[in-house]
Amino acid sequence: VIEVEKGPGNTVKLEFPSRPENVGFARTAVAVFASQKDFTLDQIDEIKVAVSEAVSNAVIHGYKETSGVVRVEAELDDGGLTITVGDEGPGISDIDWAMEPGRTTEPGRMGLGLVFIKAYMDEATLFSAPGAGTRVRMRKNLTPSENE
Amino acid sequence: VGTALIVRMSGELDLHTVDPFRRVVDEALSSGQAKDLVLALKGVTFIDSSGIGAILGRYRLAKEFHGTVVAVGPRPAVRRVLEMAGVFSVIGTADTERQALARLSAAHHDHGSK
């Protein structure tokens, strides 16, 4: 087994108000950033959907009646891309519940956001607690993992 | 046989851009101006769960008024997302708008003959 040592990552940070019109900005910005590495076009499309879902969740659930800051951090390393999307909203009390397909607190929505994130990214973890905001961290490997 | 509304969409369908789509379609269906929907998706370059939610929501409303929805020509990237969400298990597809309209009239003909 050859251990490949990963070089220092290249990181960008975005901060913007939780407006729906910024969802498109965030996914495009991350996609352009990711294009520095040899992701396939399909992988870039998948990254765009995942970022779109995570930022939409922050806008819809993080700041339902209010407005706040959404933070997106993207880090490229030799193996792929790690993205963190965070809000300072009310948080989620039951993360396992929220991760299940079809779960939503908003009438008229499908509960598909996290399903897409899980399907399109190689790893996805939700960090949240009531009153502590929500962060989703997701990872796209340059070489697709087995479950793709 | 009802009247079909052809909705030609272009650009990115997400949280920000679904509102006009919802408004136009709901207005046409609720007022009885249209019964069936043809969603012309060729020009759509991106869709996420907000866009899918809007499409499935319009499907439900059309169904309430006994209408049908047919999607025309999504690009491969958009088609993949729609497939994963199971959209095509409830919404038919066609290659062209003409084909979609033909399918709709055939569906109503079948329905009427039962």
**If you write DSSP's letter for every residue of chain A in order, what string do you get?**
-PPPPPPPPEEEEEEEE--THHHHHHHHHHHHHHTTS---HHHHHHHHHHHHHHHHHIIIIITSSS--EEEEEEEEETTEEEEEEEE-SS--S-HHHHHSTT--SSTT--S-HHHHHHHHSSEEEEEE-TTS-EEEEEEEESSPPTT-
Taking 90 as the threshold, does the pLDDT of residue A101 lie above it? no
Residue A139: active-site member = no
What tokens appear for A12 in the block? 């960008």
Q: Is A142's Cβ below 8 Å from some Cβ in B?
A: no
Task: Test A49 with B57 for CB contact under 8 angstroms.
Answer: no
- pTM above 0.80? yes
CB proximity under 8 Å: B 85-114 to A: 85
Task: Test A24 with B14 for CB contact under 8 angstroms.
Answer: yes
Taking 70 as the threshold, does the pLDDT of residue B103 lie above it? yes
Q: What pLDDT score was predicted for residue A100?
A: 85
Q: Is B57's Cβ below 8 Å from some Cβ in A?
A: yes
Task: Test B14 with A56 for CB contact under 8 angstroms.
Answer: yes
Q: Is B53's Cβ below 8 Å from some Cβ in A?
A: yes
Amino acid at B76: P
Q: Which residues of A touch B74 (CB under 8 A)?
A: none
* H helices present in A58-136, as ranges: 95-99, 113-120
Q: B49-66, pLDDT tens digit by residue?
A: 999 999 999 999 999 999
**Confidence class of residue B113 from pLDDT cuts 50, 70 and 90?**
very low
